Structures are given as structure tokens and as C-alpha cells.
């Protein structure tokens, strides 16, 4: 099993512990074991927040949109729940919001790790749009970000530059915070910084998708 395969199975691994192949890869791969440690730390921190208020439905919507963009969840094939989120609520009760939150964090961290691989970074660079201004200043190859920017461009072109610039800043924040966590997984302030960074990115997505645009 390679890193990409492991990261594809990461949601199951985090929930159920994974199979022997996953465990074997985890024992051998420093990057993936660091990723798992970080996620476990984030989930631990999140559990301590369980007494706080549940996020608004808009947060759920933003997370769901992110998950769909990453193809981690799909449209239901039969008439059932419109979203996986209500079923999570039924099974996890008050802690249900931890699952998508951890998944969203997981997606973000996974994307970052994926991009940090030299071969993927080269591929992503090649895949960047070649239009005159489109994406010219984008230093991140984050697919979700690009989709968001396309959405912003389509609806409110004048706001694209601001979103582009702020996403770039936040991605740098996430990268630095992730590096700090990797350097010392027990550093609580680094973990907090990583959560803050993801919080800022989540805020940008929420603003773009929920209310800033016509």
C-alpha cells in the first residue's frame, strides 16, 4: 500500500482502525503516521469542545459541500437521507458534528500532504489554468480552492481577487501550522494554531458559498 492508497482509506482507518495493510503502511511511513497523529490530536481537542454550542446549519452545509467536492460523499442513489449528516446525528448524537469536522480537517490535511509530494506538485502546476489572469497568482493547487474561485468569478467577478489572495494567505497559515504540528505533535499551541487556520479557511468558504454572492 502506498501513501495515496492509505489516504484514500483514511476515513475508514480513523473510524475503524483499518486493516493489516493500512497498519503496516502506517508503521513504515513517517508522513502518514504524522498525519494520523495530527488528526487524532485534533479529534481529541474537538471532543473537549462537546459542551459548546453546535454549529449553525450553514457550517454543516459548507462542510458537506467540501466533502462533495472532494468526492468523499456522493448523492444518494435511493430515496433516503439527502445528506449523510442527519444519519451521523442519529448515530453519534451530540457528538455527530465531530465526524464531518474531523473529515473536513482530514481532507484539508490530506490535500496538503498530497501537494507537498514533489511529483504531485509538478502535476498540479501543469494542470493550472493557462488563461491570462485566471489563477496566475495562485500558488496553491488546491482543487477545492480553484472550484471556489471559479464559482466566485462566475457570480461576482470583482470579488475574485480578494478571495484568491485570502485563500493563499490561509493556505500558508495552514502549511506553517501543519509543519509546527509535524515537528512536535504534542505541542498544544501548534495544534490550536492548526485548528485556527482551518477555522479561517472554513470562514472563507462559508462566506463565499453562503451569503456573499448573489
Partner 1 sequence: MQRSQYLIELGAVVIVAIATIAVAETKKEYRFEVGPKSKVSIVNQFGSVSVKPSTGNFVSVTATTYSDKVEVDQNQSGNRVDVQSHLLSGANAENSRVDYEVLVPADASVNLESATGPLRAERLHGDVEAEGANAAVDVKDMSGGHVHVKTMAGPITLTNIRDGHVEIDSVSGDVTLTSVTGPLVRVSSTSGRIQYNGDFGYAGEYRFNSHSGNIEATIPDDASVDVTAQSVRGLVQNDVPLQPKVHTSFLVKEGSSFAGTINKAASSVWLRTFSGKIHLKRR
Cβ closest to partner 1, residue 97 vs residue 163: 163
CA distance 67 to 62: 9
In whole angstroms, how close is the CB of 200 to partner 1 at the nearest point?
5
Three-state secondary-structure class, residue 54: coil
Cβ closest to partner 1, residue 132 vs residue 214: 214
Among positive and negative, which fits the CA dihedral 171, 178, 106, 207? negative
CA-CA distances (angstroms) from residue 180 to 10, 85, 175, 186? Answer: 22, 32, 9, 10
CA distance 161 to 172: 17
Cβ closest to partner 1, residue 114 vs residue 173: 173
CA distance 128 to 130: 6
In whole angstroms, how close is the CB of 114 to partner 1 at the nearest point?
22
Chain contacts with partner 1 (rule: CB under 8 A): 156, 158-159, 162-163, 165-166, 169-170, 172-173, 176-177, 180, 189, 193, 196-197, 199-200, 203-204, 207-208, 211-214
CA distance 144 to 138: 13
In whole angstroms, how close is the CB of 75 to partner 1 at the nearest point?
27
Q: Is the separation of the CB atoms in 88 and 63 below 8 Å?
A: no
In whole angstroms, how close is the CB of 19 to partner 1 at the nearest point?
38
In whole angstroms, how close is the CB of 17 to partner 1 at the nearest point?
33
Cβ closest to partner 1, residue 120 vs residue 180: 180
Amino acid at each position: 500500500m502506498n501513501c495515496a492508497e492509505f489516504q484514500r482509506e483514511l476515513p475508514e482507518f480513523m473510524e475503524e482502525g483499518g486493516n493489516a495493510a493500512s497498519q503496516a503502511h502506517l508503521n513504515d511511513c513517517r508522513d502518514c503516521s504524522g498525519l494520523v497523529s495530527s488528526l487524532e490530536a485534533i479529534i481529541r481537542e474537538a471532543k473537549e469542545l462537546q459542551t459548546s454550542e453546535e454549529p449553525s446549519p450553514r457550517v454543516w452545509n459548507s462542510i458537506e459541500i467540501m466533502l462533495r467536492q472532494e468526492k468523499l460523499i456522493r448523492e444518494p442513489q435511493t430515496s433516503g437521507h439527502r445528506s449523510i449528516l442527519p444519519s451521523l446525528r442519529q448515530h453519534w448524537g451530540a457528538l455527530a458534528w465531530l465526524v464531518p469536522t474531523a473529515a473536513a480537517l482530514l481532507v484539508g490535511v490530506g490535500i496538503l500532504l498530497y501537494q507537498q509530494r514533489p511529483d504531485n506538485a509538478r502535476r498540479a502546476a501543469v494542470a493550472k489554468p493557462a488563461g491570462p489572469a485566471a489563477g496566475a497568482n495562485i500558488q496553491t493547487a488546491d482543487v477545492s480552492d480553484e472550484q471556489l474561485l471559479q464559482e466566485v468569478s462566475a457570480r461576482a467577478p470583482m470579488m475574485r481577487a480578494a478571495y484568491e489572495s485570502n485563500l493563499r494567505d490561509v493556505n500558508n497559515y495552514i502549511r506553517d501550522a501543519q509543519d509546527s504540528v509535524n515537528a512536535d505533535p504534542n505541542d498544544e499551541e501548534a495544534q490550536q494554531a492548526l485548528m485556527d487556520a482551518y477555522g479561517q479557511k472554513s470562514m472563507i468558504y462559508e462566506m463565499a458559498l453562503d451569503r456573499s454572492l448573489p
